[in-house]
Amino acid sequence: MEVFDSIPVDLETDEVLKSMGMRGGNQRIEEVVQELVEVARSVARPKAVYKVSYIDDKDGDTVTIDGVRFTGRVLRINLDRVGRVFPHIATCGTELEEIIIPSGDVMKSFCFDAIKTMVVESATTFLSKHIMEYYALDKMSRMSPGSLESWPIAQQKEFFSLFGDTEELIGVRLTESCIMVPLKSVSGIYFPTEISFESCQLCPRERCIGRRAPYDPELTRKYREATV
Protein backbone atom coordinates (compact mmCIF):
# COMPACT_ATOMS: atom_id res chain seq x y z
CA MET A 1 0.00 0.00 0.00
CA GLU A 2 1.29 3.46 -0.86
CA VAL A 3 0.06 6.83 0.39
CA PHE A 4 0.58 10.17 -1.32
CA ASP A 5 -0.11 13.17 0.91
CA SER A 6 1.81 15.90 -0.94
CA ILE A 7 0.30 15.77 -4.41
CA PRO A 8 1.09 18.95 -6.36
CA VAL A 9 -1.85 21.22 -7.14
CA ASP A 10 -1.99 23.29 -10.31
CA LEU A 11 -4.88 25.71 -9.94
CA GLU A 12 -5.39 28.48 -12.47
CA THR A 13 -8.36 30.83 -12.52
CA ASP A 14 -8.86 30.43 -16.29
CA GLU A 15 -8.98 26.64 -16.01
CA VAL A 16 -11.50 26.76 -13.18
CA LEU A 17 -13.72 29.13 -15.18
CA LYS A 18 -13.40 26.86 -18.20
CA SER A 19 -14.48 23.83 -16.16
CA MET A 20 -17.53 25.84 -15.07
CA GLY A 21 -18.34 26.85 -18.66
CA MET A 22 -17.90 30.51 -17.78
CA ARG A 23 -14.58 31.50 -19.31
CA GLY A 24 -14.63 35.11 -20.51
CA GLY A 25 -18.06 35.72 -19.03
CA ASN A 26 -19.11 37.41 -15.85
CA GLN A 27 -16.47 39.66 -14.26
CA ARG A 28 -17.94 39.22 -10.78
CA ILE A 29 -17.62 35.44 -11.04
CA GLU A 30 -14.06 35.79 -12.30
CA GLU A 31 -13.19 37.87 -9.25
CA VAL A 32 -14.78 35.35 -6.89
CA VAL A 33 -12.95 32.45 -8.52
CA GLN A 34 -9.63 34.32 -8.37
CA GLU A 35 -10.15 34.98 -4.66
CA LEU A 36 -11.04 31.35 -3.94
CA VAL A 37 -8.19 30.00 -6.05
CA GLU A 38 -5.70 31.99 -3.98
CA VAL A 39 -7.22 30.63 -0.77
CA ALA A 40 -7.24 27.06 -2.09
CA ARG A 41 -3.63 27.21 -3.25
CA SER A 42 -2.50 28.14 0.24
CA VAL A 43 -4.13 25.18 2.01
CA ALA A 44 -4.98 22.43 -0.50
CA ARG A 45 -3.37 19.06 0.17
CA PRO A 46 -5.00 16.42 -2.04
CA LYS A 47 -4.18 12.88 -1.02
CA ALA A 48 -4.41 9.37 -2.42
CA VAL A 49 -3.80 5.81 -1.37
CA TYR A 50 -3.56 2.73 -3.55
CA LYS A 51 -2.49 -0.86 -3.25
CA VAL A 52 -1.57 -3.70 -5.56
CA SER A 53 -4.21 -6.41 -5.22
CA TYR A 54 -4.71 -9.80 -6.78
CA ILE A 55 -7.83 -11.60 -7.89
CA ASP A 56 -8.39 -14.77 -5.89
CA ASP A 57 -11.49 -16.09 -7.60
CA LYS A 58 -14.06 -15.40 -10.33
CA ASP A 59 -17.45 -17.06 -10.23
CA GLY A 60 -20.54 -16.03 -12.15
CA ASP A 61 -21.07 -12.31 -11.57
CA THR A 62 -18.67 -12.20 -8.61
CA VAL A 63 -14.98 -11.54 -8.26
CA THR A 64 -12.88 -11.93 -5.11
CA ILE A 65 -10.02 -9.48 -4.58
CA ASP A 66 -7.63 -9.96 -1.65
CA GLY A 67 -10.22 -12.15 0.00
CA VAL A 68 -13.04 -9.60 -0.39
CA ARG A 69 -15.95 -10.62 -2.59
CA PHE A 70 -17.58 -8.14 -4.98
CA THR A 71 -20.70 -8.69 -7.05
CA GLY A 72 -21.07 -6.83 -10.33
CA ARG A 73 -21.56 -8.22 -13.80
CA VAL A 74 -19.70 -5.47 -15.65
CA LEU A 75 -16.86 -5.54 -13.12
CA ARG A 76 -16.62 -9.31 -13.46
CA ILE A 77 -16.52 -9.14 -17.27
CA ASN A 78 -13.92 -6.36 -17.30
CA LEU A 79 -11.65 -8.35 -14.98
CA ASP A 80 -12.12 -11.63 -16.83
CA ARG A 81 -8.54 -11.73 -18.11
CA VAL A 82 -6.98 -9.65 -15.35
CA GLY A 83 -5.04 -10.98 -12.39
CA ARG A 84 -3.67 -7.80 -10.83
CA VAL A 85 -5.66 -4.65 -10.01
CA PHE A 86 -5.08 -1.35 -8.23
CA PRO A 87 -7.78 -0.33 -5.72
CA HIS A 88 -7.45 3.33 -4.79
CA ILE A 89 -9.01 6.30 -3.01
CA ALA A 90 -8.24 9.94 -3.74
CA THR A 91 -9.51 13.11 -2.10
CA CYS A 92 -9.37 16.89 -2.28
CA GLY A 93 -8.31 16.73 1.37
CA THR A 94 -9.82 17.79 4.67
CA GLU A 95 -8.01 21.13 4.48
CA LEU A 96 -10.35 22.44 1.77
CA GLU A 97 -13.38 21.02 3.56
CA GLU A 98 -12.54 23.14 6.59
CA ILE A 99 -12.93 26.37 4.63
CA ILE A 100 -16.38 27.74 5.45
CA ILE A 101 -18.41 29.39 2.70
CA PRO A 102 -21.45 31.37 3.94
CA SER A 103 -24.55 29.23 3.41
CA GLY A 104 -26.39 32.04 1.68
CA ASP A 105 -23.65 32.72 -0.87
CA VAL A 106 -24.78 30.35 -3.61
CA MET A 107 -22.41 31.69 -6.24
CA LYS A 108 -19.32 31.37 -4.05
CA SER A 109 -20.37 27.87 -2.99
CA PHE A 110 -20.76 26.87 -6.64
CA CYS A 111 -17.34 28.28 -7.53
CA PHE A 112 -15.62 26.62 -4.59
CA ASP A 113 -17.24 23.31 -5.44
CA ALA A 114 -15.69 23.53 -8.92
CA ILE A 115 -12.29 24.22 -7.38
CA LYS A 116 -12.51 21.21 -5.07
CA THR A 117 -13.50 19.07 -8.04
CA MET A 118 -10.40 20.17 -9.92
CA VAL A 119 -8.23 19.44 -6.88
CA VAL A 120 -9.47 15.86 -6.55
CA GLU A 121 -9.08 15.42 -10.31
CA SER A 122 -5.46 16.49 -9.98
CA ALA A 123 -5.02 13.75 -7.39
CA THR A 124 -6.50 11.05 -9.63
CA THR A 125 -4.45 12.25 -12.60
CA PHE A 126 -1.28 12.12 -10.51
CA LEU A 127 -2.17 8.66 -9.21
CA SER A 128 -3.07 7.12 -12.57
CA LYS A 129 0.12 8.48 -14.14
CA HIS A 130 2.20 7.06 -11.30
CA ILE A 131 0.64 3.60 -11.59
CA MET A 132 1.00 3.44 -15.36
CA GLU A 133 4.63 4.53 -15.28
CA TYR A 134 5.71 2.50 -12.25
CA TYR A 135 4.10 -0.73 -13.45
CA ALA A 136 4.82 -0.12 -17.15
CA LEU A 137 1.18 -0.30 -18.24
CA ASP A 138 0.25 0.76 -21.77
CA LYS A 139 -3.39 1.40 -20.97
CA MET A 140 -5.73 1.04 -18.03
CA SER A 141 -9.34 1.75 -17.17
CA ARG A 142 -11.25 2.35 -13.97
CA MET A 143 -14.48 1.33 -12.27
CA SER A 144 -16.02 2.64 -9.04
CA PRO A 145 -18.61 1.22 -6.65
CA GLY A 146 -21.87 2.99 -7.44
CA SER A 147 -20.85 4.10 -10.93
CA LEU A 148 -23.25 1.54 -12.42
CA GLU A 149 -26.34 -0.22 -11.13
CA SER A 150 -24.58 -3.57 -11.57
CA TRP A 151 -21.91 -2.58 -9.03
CA PRO A 152 -23.95 -0.89 -6.28
CA ILE A 153 -22.61 1.82 -4.00
CA ALA A 154 -23.40 -0.40 -0.99
CA GLN A 155 -20.23 -2.31 -1.87
CA GLN A 156 -18.19 0.69 -0.81
CA LYS A 157 -18.08 -0.99 2.61
CA GLU A 158 -16.36 -4.06 1.17
CA PHE A 159 -14.13 -1.85 -0.95
CA PHE A 160 -12.96 0.28 2.00
CA SER A 161 -12.18 -2.90 3.96
CA LEU A 162 -9.30 -3.46 1.53
CA PHE A 163 -7.45 -0.51 3.08
CA GLY A 164 -8.14 -0.57 6.80
CA ASP A 165 -8.33 2.84 8.51
CA THR A 166 -8.71 5.19 5.53
CA GLU A 167 -9.38 8.17 7.79
CA GLU A 168 -5.99 7.69 9.39
CA LEU A 169 -4.33 7.15 6.00
CA ILE A 170 -5.73 10.07 3.98
CA GLY A 171 -8.55 11.62 6.01
CA VAL A 172 -11.43 9.90 4.16
CA ARG A 173 -14.23 8.17 6.01
CA LEU A 174 -17.31 6.30 4.84
CA THR A 175 -20.73 7.10 6.27
CA GLU A 176 -23.40 4.52 7.05
CA SER A 177 -25.06 5.39 3.73
CA CYS A 178 -21.75 4.73 1.93
CA ILE A 179 -21.01 8.37 1.16
CA MET A 180 -17.37 9.44 1.32
CA VAL A 181 -16.34 12.40 3.46
CA PRO A 182 -14.86 14.71 2.22
CA LEU A 183 -17.49 14.63 -0.52
CA LYS A 184 -14.90 15.48 -3.17
CA SER A 185 -13.32 12.04 -2.92
CA VAL A 186 -13.27 9.18 -5.39
CA SER A 187 -12.73 5.45 -5.03
CA GLY A 188 -12.31 2.72 -7.55
CA ILE A 189 -10.22 0.04 -9.16
CA TYR A 190 -7.71 0.67 -11.91
CA PHE A 191 -7.11 -2.36 -14.10
CA PRO A 192 -4.95 -2.97 -17.18
CA THR A 193 -6.88 -3.24 -20.41
CA GLU A 194 -6.37 -3.25 -24.14
CA ILE A 195 -9.52 -1.22 -24.84
CA SER A 196 -10.36 1.85 -22.79
CA PHE A 197 -13.51 1.57 -20.69
CA GLU A 198 -15.62 4.21 -18.97
CA SER A 199 -18.70 3.40 -16.89
CA CYS A 200 -20.35 6.36 -18.65
CA GLN A 201 -20.50 4.25 -21.80
CA LEU A 202 -23.13 2.06 -20.13
CA CYS A 203 -25.11 4.86 -18.46
CA PRO A 204 -28.05 6.33 -20.47
CA ARG A 205 -28.57 9.34 -18.19
CA GLU A 206 -28.43 12.31 -20.56
CA ARG A 207 -27.79 15.23 -18.21
CA CYS A 208 -24.66 14.48 -16.22
CA ILE A 209 -21.93 17.06 -15.68
CA GLY A 210 -19.48 14.28 -14.84
CA ARG A 211 -19.91 12.38 -18.11
CA ARG A 212 -16.55 11.28 -19.54
CA ALA A 213 -17.76 9.29 -22.55
CA PRO A 214 -20.97 9.08 -24.62
CA TYR A 215 -23.54 6.39 -23.92
CA ASP A 216 -22.97 3.33 -26.13
CA PRO A 217 -26.12 1.17 -26.46
CA GLU A 218 -24.27 -1.44 -28.53
CA LEU A 219 -21.63 -1.88 -25.84
CA THR A 220 -24.41 -2.09 -23.24
CA ARG A 221 -25.97 -4.94 -25.23
CA LYS A 222 -22.65 -6.79 -25.44
CA TYR A 223 -22.18 -6.68 -21.67
CA ARG A 224 -25.76 -7.82 -21.13
CA GLU A 225 -25.33 -10.81 -23.44
CA ALA A 226 -21.76 -11.74 -22.49
CA THR A 227 -21.17 -15.16 -20.98
CA VAL A 228 -19.22 -15.28 -17.71
In a domain, 95, yes or no: yes
Identify the pLDDT of residue 150: 82
Percent of the chain beyond pLDDT 90?
A: 57
In a domain, 213, yes or no: no
Range of the domain at 39: 2-51+83-200
Question: CA-to-CA distance for 26 and 32, rounded, in angstroms?
Answer: 10
Alpha helices, DSSP H, located in 21-93: 27-43, 73-78
In a domain, 212, yes or no: no
Identify the pLDDT of residue 135: 94
In a domain, 88, yes or no: yes
In a domain, 205, yes or no: no
In a domain, 68, yes or no: no
In a domain, 206, yes or no: no
Question: CA-to-CA distance for 115 and 106, rounded, in angstroms?
Answer: 14
Question: CA-to-CA distance for 147 and 170, rounded, in angstroms?
Answer: 22
- pTM of the entire predicted model: 0.84
Amino acid identity of residue 73, one-letter, is R
Identify the pLDDT of residue 225: 57
Q: Which residues of the chain have pLDDT under 70?
A: 23-25, 194-213, 216, 219-228
Give me the CATH number covering residue 167. Answer: 3.40.109.40
The dihedral over CA atoms of 41, 42, 43, 44, expressed in degrees to the nearest 10, equals: 20
Identify the pLDDT of residue 81: 85
Identify the pLDDT of residue 10: 85
In a domain, 23, yes or no: yes
User: How many domains would you assign to the chain?
Assistant: 1
Q: Angle 116-113-11 (CA atoms, 0-180°, nearest 5)?
A: 40
